[in-house]
Structure 1
C-alpha cells in the first residue's frame, strides 16, 4: 500500500491545530527528543483518509506504538474497543493525569493507554522529569485535559 503524500501546508495546519502537542499523551513537541509526526487516526488500510479531520499530531512514541491499529481487545471483557480519537473525543473524559501517570477512565482510554504505552517506565520517567521542571503539562495541555 502506497503511503499518502501530505504536503507541508497540511502538516503545518495539523501541528498548529494541536498547538504542537501530541494529541494522545499531550507532550509538547519541543519536550520530546524525537519530535512529532502526523498520524492517520484511522489508518488508510482501515478506510481512513488523509483529510485533516482524520489526521493527528503525535509524538514519535505514540505514533510508533499505535502503528496502523485502530483499537484493541480488553481480554477480561472479550470485547474490541476503538482508540481515543482526538477529533471525536474529549481527552479529559477518557484520561486523567495522576502525578506522572495517565490513568484511563474508560474502556477507550484503557486500550489507548495500554497500546500506546502511556505508562511504560521510560515514558513515566520522561513525564516526571518534565513535571519536575514545570514543563508538563503545558498550559495548552491543561486546556485539553479540561475541555
Structure 2
C-alpha cells in the first residue's frame, strides 16, 4: 500500500481505531489499516474501503461483513466506518462502548469491543 494512502487513512482517523475509538497513543498494540470489505470479498485498496483499526478489532473482524445481533439473533451488517456515523450507532457508558442500534450491538459483539 502506498505511503501516501496510509498517511491519508491515519489522518482521517485522527489516530483512533475507527471501530472502538481507542486512541493509538497509549495503546500497547500497533494499529493496522483494515480493508472494510476484505480483499477476498473483492474489496479494493481505495480510501473509501480502508479504516484504521486497532489489532484487536481487526483480528476479531477479520473478513466478516455481518454478524448476529445478540438481542434478536438476526444476521446484521457490521459497522462500516465510511458509511455509518459512529455516534449514531455507539455511545460510551463509563469506559464501556454500548451499541445503540442493531448495527452497533452486532459490531460490539463480533469485535468483542469491551473484552478486557
Which bin holds the TM-score, normalised by the shorter protein?
A: over 0.9
Counterparts of 1:8-19 in structure 2, within 5 Å, are: 8-19=3-14
Structure 1 residue aligned with 2:105: 110
How far does residue 7 in structure 1 lie from its aligned partner after superposition? 1.6
Are 2:40 and 1:45 aligned?
yes
Deviations 1:59-110 (A, max 9, x none): 1111111111111123663421111111111111101100011010111001
Aligned length: 116
1:60 to 35, 55, 60: 55
Taking structure 2 as the reference length, the TM-score comes to 0.93
Structural RMSD (CA): 1.3
Q: Distance in 2 between matches of 1:15 and 1:43?
A: 19
Q: Distance in 1 between matches of 2:3 and 2:94?
A: 36
**Against the structure 1 CA distance between its residues 40 and 77, is the aligned structure 2 distance closer, same or farther, given a 3 Å change threshold?**
same
Structure 2 residue aligned with 1:129: none
Structure index of larger Rg:
1
Unaligned runs of 5+ in 1: 1-5, 123-147
Q: Distance in 2 between matches of 1:99 and 1:76?
A: 22
Are 2:28 and 1:33 aligned?
yes
Higher helix share: 1
Unaligned runs of 5+ in 2: none
Runs of 4+ in structure 1 off by over 6 angstroms are none
Taking structure 1 as the reference length, the TM-score comes to 0.74
